[in-house]
Amino acid sequence: MTDTQWPRFMVFQQSELDEPFVHNGTVHAPDPEMALMNARDVYYRRPKAEAMWVVPAESIFSVTLEEQTSKEWQQEAEGAGIEKEFHVFAKFSHQGQCEQIGIVSANSHEAAMRLAIETYTDKQVLWWWVFPSDAVMASEAEDTSSMYDPSLEFDYKSQAAYPVVTMMRQIHAKGKLEE
Amino acid sequence: MNTKLKAKLAKYLIAIGDDELVLAHRDSEWCGHAPILEEDIAFANISLDEIGHARLWYEIAAELLGEDKATYPDQLAFFRSASQFHSIQMNSLPNGDWAFTMLRQFLFDSAEVPRLEGLVESSHKPLAEAAVKIRNEEIYHLRHTSAWVKRLGLGTEESNRRMQVALDELWSYAQQLFLPIDGEVDLVAAGLVPDSAEIKSAWLESVVPSLEQADLIIPDEGPPPRDRSVQTQHLAHLITEMQSVARLEPQGRW
């Protein structure tokens, strides 16, 4: 068998309109539109989403705290090219999620990263992500209702709230079901 | 609403509830078997949504019939025989391949949306309110299945072939969706439910261009659809499996 795994997309969720987007997890999908739907289905059980982004994992350039001063990627930041907008995300603690902190304009991922690190010097960051704005597939405002509202009405019960195990024991005890 | 009309509306709601429940059970058979994990989760969600819709319709039927809203839906789902179900035949057909499953869901959801657009306007308030909630979920289902129909239709020669085979089989079955349900004339006259003929024209307007854009050929409608009282042999097997646990302990609380 060949590898049939689809490309990986990073999923970002915005819980309130004035809050930053936060990295939620990953999904596999054949294309961005399907990625957005898969993301909704895998993550929408966390209520209060206002919007979701999916970004191809390969569009994200990542630098850790240790790599921050490395010459290797900084050399790549010197190239020429057309400037475009990059989103800057950062992770501040091991428990925390990577969250949106700003936007920079640059001509490459590496240049955007250097600019991000220079711009947000007041922050102690464990790792940085940058990706071009045009790599984002965002859910539309008019989709909010059909994509996220249904989850608000679901009951979230612990499995312990269902007496299924007890019921099955009683049924077994009566010998109604083959083991 | 007089008692006769209430009974007719309840019958209508049980029929469309049966459509949801039977399809939901077929959908649930994919749980753990869908092509990839993400789709497995997505399709299980759709199945659960459809079960929720069946419950809503059964609850409103219970109120109309003076039955207990808390227990009647389970009575309908787990303690009727297959011959007492009024679901359309299409929904009981075995899942076949993924193309068949997606196309069936697409054809069904595409009829659900215009039906719900009509039910949102129903003069029976609880029905109109439930329709608002269900419509929101169906819009999303349709988006999901439309995306699959497009990709499978335009994907590879093999995926297109499988879709065409599925469409050739499902198209005439789907026509049963638009056969007026018993008592529908009076319900339409009272502004309680939409006219099936109008649902059909809305359905054709949406599915024909989508299928043609997915490089599929619309087949002939075939013979007139069977009445909802006639079931496939597949339904009996489905119902037996679906009810097997509940019937082990009819008084049980799960």
Closest approach of chain A CAs to the CA of B96, in angstroms?
Answer: 21
Q: Which residues make beta-bridge pairs with A137?
A: A54
Which tops the pLDDT comparison, A81 or B115? B115
Structure tokens at B3: 């008692």
Candidates A34, A163, A171; nearest CB to B147: A34
Mapped onto helix, strand or coil, the DSSP state of residue A93 is coil
Record: contact A150-B140, CB cut-off 8 A: yes
Question: What pLDDT does A163 receive?
Answer: 84
Question: What pLDDT does A140 receive?
Answer: 85
Q: How far is CA B219 from CA B4, B169, B211, B228, B242, in A?
A: 40, 9, 11, 22, 33
CATH superfamily of B3-217+228-248: Ferritin, core subunit, four-helix bundle (1.20.1260.10)
Contacts of B249 in chain A (CB under 8 A): 167, 170-171, 176
* Ramachandran class of A32: left when φ > 0, alpha when ψ lies in -120 to 50, beta otherwise: alpha
Q: How far is CA A42 from CA A38, A135, A151, B39, in A?
A: 6, 21, 12, 9
Does residue B223 sit at the A interface (CB-CB below 8 Å)?
no
Q: How far is CA B102 from CA A5, A122, B96, B135, B175, in A?
A: 20, 51, 10, 19, 17
Mean pLDDT computed over A98-115: 94
Closest approach of chain A CAs to the CA of B117, in angstroms?
Answer: 15
**Residues from A in contact with B at Cβ < 8 Å:** 6, 27-30, 33-34, 37-38, 40-42, 145-147, 149-150, 153, 162-164, 167, 170-171, 176-177
Closest approach of chain B CAs to the CA of A94, in angstroms?
Answer: 26
Contacts of A147 in chain B (CB under 8 A): 140
Contacts of A40 in chain B (CB under 8 A): 140
A175 DSSP assignment: T
Contacts of A146 in chain B (CB under 8 A): 136-137, 139-140, 143
Question: What is the C-alpha to C-alpha distance for residues B111 and B145, in angstroms, rounded to an integer?
Answer: 13
Record: contact B36-A30, CB cut-off 8 A: no
Digit-coded pLDDT (tens) for A39-56: 988 887 656 788 899 999
Record: contact B133-A153, CB cut-off 8 A: yes
Question: What is the C-alpha to C-alpha distance for residues A26 and B36, in angstroms, rounded to an integer?
Answer: 14
Closest residue in A to B133 (Cα) is A150
Closest residue in B to A37 (Cα) is B144
Candidates A30, A145, A177; nearest CB to B136: A145
Query: Sorting pLDDT into bands at 50, 70 and 90, what band is A1?
Result: very low
Q: State which H helix or E strand residue A22 sits in.
A: strand A22-28
Question: What is the C-alpha to C-alpha distance for residues A179 and A3, in angstroms, rounded to an integer?
Answer: 38
Record: contact B140-A147, CB cut-off 8 A: yes
Q: Sort B158 into a burial class: Cβ within 10 Å, 0-12 / 13-18 / 19+.
A: exposed
Digit-coded pLDDT (tens) for B83-115: 999 999 999 999 999 999 999 999 999 999 999
Question: What pLDDT does A4 receive?
Answer: 65
Question: What is the C-alpha to C-alpha distance for residues A95 and A111, in angstroms, rounded to an integer?
Answer: 28
Question: What pLDDT does A177 receive?
Answer: 64
Q: Which residues make beta-bridge pairs with A85?
A: A105
Closest approach of chain A CAs to the CA of B227, in angstroms?
Answer: 33
How many pairs of residues across A and B have Cβ atoms under 8 Å apart?
57
The residue written with tokens 């409608």 in the block is: B221
From first to last of the 254 residues of chain B, give the pLDDT tens digit.
899 999 999 999 999 999 999 999 999 999 999 988 999 999 999 999 999 999 999 999 999 999 999 999 999 999 999 999 999 999 999 999 999 999 999 999 999 999 999 999 999 999 999 999 999 999 999 999 999 999 999 999 999 999 999 999 999 999 999 999 999 999 999 999 999 999 999 999 999 999 999 999 999 998 999 999 999 999 999 999 999 989 988 888 77
Question: What is the C-alpha to C-alpha distance for residues B226 and B124, in angstroms, rounded to an integer?
Answer: 29
On average, the pLDDT of chain A sits at 86
| A179, pLDDT greater than 60 | no
All structural domains of chain A with their residue ranges: 8-173
Which tops the pLDDT comparison, B116 or A97? B116
Digit-coded pLDDT (tens) for A135-176: 999 988 877 777 777 766 666 667 777 888 888 888 888 876
Record: contact B45-A171, CB cut-off 8 A: no
Q: Sort A110 into a burial class: Cβ within 10 Å, 0-12 / 13-18 / 19+.
A: buried
Does residue B254 sit at the A interface (CB-CB below 8 Å)?
yes
Mean pLDDT computed over A3-21: 88
Question: What is the C-alpha to C-alpha distance for residues A128 and A120, in angstroms, rounded to an integer?
Answer: 11
Record: contact A41-B45, CB cut-off 8 A: yes
Structure tokens at A55: 């970004």
How long is chain A? 179
CA-nearest of A106, A87, A66, A115 to A22 is A87
Record: contact A41-B37, CB cut-off 8 A: no
Candidates A28, A149, A171; nearest CB to B38: A28
